[in-house]
A and B are shown apart, each in its own frame.
Chain A
Amino acid sequence: MTRLTLGPIAYHWSAEKRRDFYARIADEAPVDEVYLGEVICSKRAPFHEADLPTTIERLERAGKTVILSTLAEVMLTRERKATADLAAMEAPEIEINNAAGLLARGKRPHRIGPFMNAYNEATIAWMAGQGATHVCLPTELPGPAIAIAARSARALGLGVEVQVFGRASLAVSARCYHARAHGRTKDNCQFVCEADPDGMPLRTRDDAPVLRVNGIQTQSESYVNLMPESGRLVADGVTHLRLMPQGVDMVAVSALFRSVLEGGTLLDEADERLRKLLVQTSFSNGFYYGQAGYRRISNSAPA
């Protein structure tokens, strides 16, 4: 049975907003697995890490599998320590997003996160030999490559995950672009990113919305939406479909994906309801079809 997952929150949501969010996810969202932890900025972690044990317990009590995700960028002492600390844990599972985490984890079981660049069967085979149990493929990987990667990962006994909803991560940097926009640096950022719970929009100088800034991360303006392609992903061997938390009703979003997966709602109807739920948002699936990522291709055979 295909598992629906909720990725880690990419943004700087307050501790209270996170508590409310996960309480509602635990009670109402039909997702099977939830990734927790700060992936983008190590300065944010102190605001919410004290709540982690309670959140884990709350979600597990609701029957969800919890996985802790590690930072995508590891450079500073505190980032190296945070990564090593997570890698030392026996439970819950961990998802590793930086090679520093792979070194610390050794051959003990772990998941490979979307920042680890598992693009092909040779890399996946190497990772499986080092203790990986599960791999989240890069968001830009096109459909035919997903199918080949998924088949080889499954043959090695790995779970295979693909992001099917939410803004795509397009880049990470050592520099904080949120701070830069406010004339600050990363060290004196004063957490301006908290004001943008769905990222800070960047428009071109002729006013086309194109990118979103989230601290050191650059994201797509459009939400990736592979709901129409989810059936083909599953048929191609993908075992886990990832929804990225956005500043929208994620319970409703996950319910729509769940109902399509279970065949309870016709695809056209669910897609239409998703569109109505997110009238302000543009959807994209170009990466899946090997085209410019921002594009929205009607559901046809992948290129």
Chain B
Amino acid sequence: MSLAELICPAGTPAALRTAVDAGADAVYCGFNNATNARNFPGLNFTPDELTNAVAYAHARGTKVLLALNTYPPAGKFDLWRDAADLGARIGVDAFIVADMGVANYIRCTHPHMRLHLSVQAAASSPEAIRYYCESFGVKRVVLPRILTIPEIRQIRKEIPCEIETFIFGNHGLMVEGRCSLTNYLTGQSTNMDGVCSPASDVEYLRAADGSMSSRLAGFTIDKFSADEMAGYPTICKGRYKAPHRPDGYYAFEEPVSLNLSRLLPDLIDAGVHAFKIEGRQRSKSYVRNVVSAFRQAVDDIRAGRAPNVADLVALTEGQKQTQGAFETKKWR
């Protein structure tokens, strides 16, 4: 049985300490610039903050993984290079990368550093994963949220590295690292700037009849009647009209969140080494609750006890949940 490490989000130094205290085996975080895919205002770490965070985590036996998982546009590679040099100097335990140039730079310049392949690299077959392992010495792949458990089991048999899967949080629909929807509407790029449906471009407009439009950069992503709760205008979770769907429908996905708590034993059995919790943008109390609950569940499974699934399911109370692709390929 794999150790089933728990990999937890750390959007701020306070969230990092909370996750460490709640029992994370590793935390992941980024610098406060375009080098990571959660480049949101008020999030992420300065070099000094990361230095202190690594000291705090290491003193308690927790690893720190640094996300350098965006794609540098030509002419700006120095920002990613400097972030890698800084991360190595500070002593993070691994880099999470997507861009081949970034991966190759780290392999050549910091050959002792461990590389994890980000979900942003969109490696969804054994061959693609092996390409990154053989080229850059990648030690772990974060799998896209599009594979069923039998497919994960099969992949595990054919690759020379560890597998990390998302188990909880935002349910990404598009192949990550191949999505320019945000750039098309807002001029800020998910791949190059680390931005997705940015809050700075969001507005909520109430009409005379009480309905609410949630808009991104002037585009109506969804409309809600007076008795519905208005959702955040994430482009791939909006309602649109198609020729034979004149009333509007969730063209891509409903606003659900991923919760694989029922599948943890199956995932471990399939050979998954690490469970990732999404949510670097979430609050300290959210991080505390989610990390503690999954810590207990993983410890129960390791000890041969049945985890208390009800506690985990309750974490998303009020929000619709899905097991997404992991449960059935009918999701596709």
**Smallest beta-carbon distance B59→chain A, Å:** 35
Could you say which of B174, B183, B325 contacts A287, with CB atoms under 8 Å apart? B183
Chain B residues whose C-beta falls within 8 Å of the C-beta of A290 in the assembled complex: 187
Contact with A along B160-195 (1 / 0, CB 8 A): 000000000000011101111101111101011000
Least Cβ–Cβ distance between B163 and chain A, in angstroms: 15
The answer to whether B213 has its CB under 8 Å from any CB of chain A is yes
A133 at the interface (CB under 8 A from B): no
Whole-angstrom CA separation of A168 from B189 in the bound complex = 14
Interface bits A223-263 vs B (CB < 8 Å: 1, else 0): 00000000000000000000000000000000000000000
Q: Is A266 interfacial (CB-CB < 8 Å)?
A: no
Q: Which residue of chain A lies nearest to B241 when distances are taken between CB atoms in the complex?
A: A203
A52 within 8 A of B: no
Contact A141 B73 (CB under 8 A): yes
Instruction: Kindly state whether residue A139 has any CB partner on chain B within 8 Å.
Output: yes
Cα distance A174–B330 in the bound complex, in angstroms? 11
**Which of A4-12, A206-214, A272-280 lies on the face that meets chain B?**
A206-214
Q: Which 4 A-B pairs have the closest CB atoms?
A: A122-B101, A174-B146, A123-B101, A100-B127
Are A104 and B127 CB-contacts (below 8 A) given A171-B181, A211-B240?
yes
Residues of B within 8 A of A122 (CB): 72, 77, 99-102, 104-105
B248 part of interface (Cβ distance < 8 Å): yes
Is there contact, CB below 8 Å, between B104 and A100?
A: no
B189, A140: Cβ atoms closer than 8 Å: yes
A98 interfacial contact with B, CB 8 Å = yes
* Chain B residue nearest to A286 in the complex (CB): B187
Most buried by B among A125, A204, A208, A291: A204
Whether A174 and B243, one on each chain, are in contact in the complex, defined by CB atoms closer than 8 angstroms, is: no
Taking a contact as CB atoms closer than 8 A, the residue among A79, A172, A203 that contacts B174 in the complex is: A172
Contact: B192 with A119, CB < 8 Å?
yes
Q: Which residue from B147, B219, B220, B243 sits with its C-beta under 8 Å from A75?
A: B147
Cβ-defined contact, A127 with B179, below 8 A: no
29 A-B pairs within 8 Å (CB atoms) are namely A74-B128, A103-B134, A119-B73, A120-B76, A120-B77, A126-B100, A138-B180, A141-B73, A142-B73, A145-B74, A145-B75, A149-B74, A171-B178, A173-B252, A174-B146, A175-B146, A175-B332, A176-B332, A187-B329, A203-B241, A204-B238, A205-B223, A213-B242, A213-B251, A218-B181, A287-B180, A291-B187, A292-B183, A292-B185
Q: Chain A 145-180, CB within 8 Å of chain B: the 1/0 string? A: 111110010000000000000001111111111001
Residue in A100, A148, A291 whose beta carbon sits within 8 Å of that of B74 in the complex = A148
User: A170 contacts which of B71, B184, B192, B330 (Cβ < 8 Å)?
Assistant: B184
Residue A63 interfacial (CB < 8 Å)? no
With contacts A117-B191, A120-B99, A206-B223 taken as known, whether A98 is within 8 angstroms of B242 at the C-beta atoms is no
Interface set, chain B 203-239, CB cutoff 8 A to A: 213, 217, 219-223, 236, 238-239
CB-contacts of B111-137 with A (<8 A): 121, 123-128, 130-132, 134-135
At the interface, yes or no: A115 with Cβ under 8 Å from chain B? yes
Nearest Cβ on chain A to B166's Cβ, whole angstroms: 14
Q: In the bound complex, do residue B177 and residue A185 qualify as a contact, i.e. CB atoms below 8 Å apart?
A: no
Q: Which B residues are CB-close (under 8 A) to A121?
A: 74, 77, 101
Q: How far is the CB of B159 from chain A (nearest CB, A)?
A: 11
B245 within 8 A of A: yes
Q: Give the docked Cα–Cα distance between A122 and B97 (Å).
A: 14
**In whole angstroms, what is the CA distance A75 to B146 when docked?**
9
Please, which residues of chain B bring their CB within 8 A of the CB of A295? 187
Answer whether A206 and B213 are a contact pair too, CB < 8 Å, given A171-B179, A200-B242, A286-B187.
yes
Whether A103 lies near B73 (C-beta < 8 A) is: no
> Chain B binding site: helix, strand, loop or mixed by DSSP?
mixed
In the complex, whether B144 has a CB less than 8 A from a CB of chain A is yes
- Which of A148, A204, A220 sits near B219, CB closer than 8 Å? A204
Complex-state Cα separation, A138 to B71, whole angstroms: 11
Please name all residues of chain B whose beta carbon is closer than 8 Å to the beta carbon of A131 when the two chains form the complex.
none
Q: Is A73 an interface residue (CB 8 A)?
A: yes
Tell me whether B244 is interfacial, beta carbon within 8 Å.
Answer: yes
Complex contact B332–A144 (CB within 8 A) = no
Interface flag for B286 (CB, 8 Å): no
A294 touches B (CB below 8 Å): yes
Most B CB within 10 A of own CB, among A117, A291, A295: A117
Cα distance A220–B181 when bound, in Å? 9
- Cβ of A185 and Cβ of B330 under 8 Å apart? yes
| Docked complex Cα distance between A77 and B253 (Å) | 26
Q: Is the CB of A208 within 8 A of B71?
A: no
Given A103-B130, A117-B71, A148-B75, CB of A170 within 8 Å of CB of B220:
no
A218 shortest CB reach to chain B, Å: 7
Q: A208 near B74 (CB under 8 angstroms)?
A: no
A30 contacts chain B at the CB level, 8 A cutoff? no
Find out whether the CB atom of B240 lies under 8 angstroms from the CB atom of A168.
no
Chain A residues with CB below 8 A from B219, complex form: 204, 208, 210
Is B251 within 8 A of A100, CB to CB?
Answer: no
Q: How far is the CB of A169 from chain B (nearest CB, A)?
A: 8
Residues of A within 8 A of B104 (CB): 122-123, 126
Rounded to whole Å, the gap between the CB of A217 and the closest CB of chain B is 10
Query: Shortest Cβ distance from A127 into chain B, in angstroms?
Result: 7
Using Cβ atoms and an 8 Å threshold, which residues of chain B touch A98? 125, 128
Q: Is the CB of B184 within 8 A of A294?
A: yes
Q: Of the candidates A103, A120, A170, A213, which one forms a contact with B179 in the assembled complex, judged by CB atoms under 8 Å apart?
A: A170
A72 within 8 A of B: yes
Q: Are A181 and B249 in contact (CB under 8 A)?
A: yes
Across the interface, do B244 and A74 meet the contact criterion of CB distance under 8 Å?
Answer: no
Q: In the complex, what residues of B have CB within 8 A of residue A120's CB?
A: 71-77, 99, 101
Taking the complex as formed, is A44 at the interface, i.e. its CB lies under 8 A from any CB of chain B? no
* Alpha-carbon separation in the docked complex, A293 to B188 (Å): 9
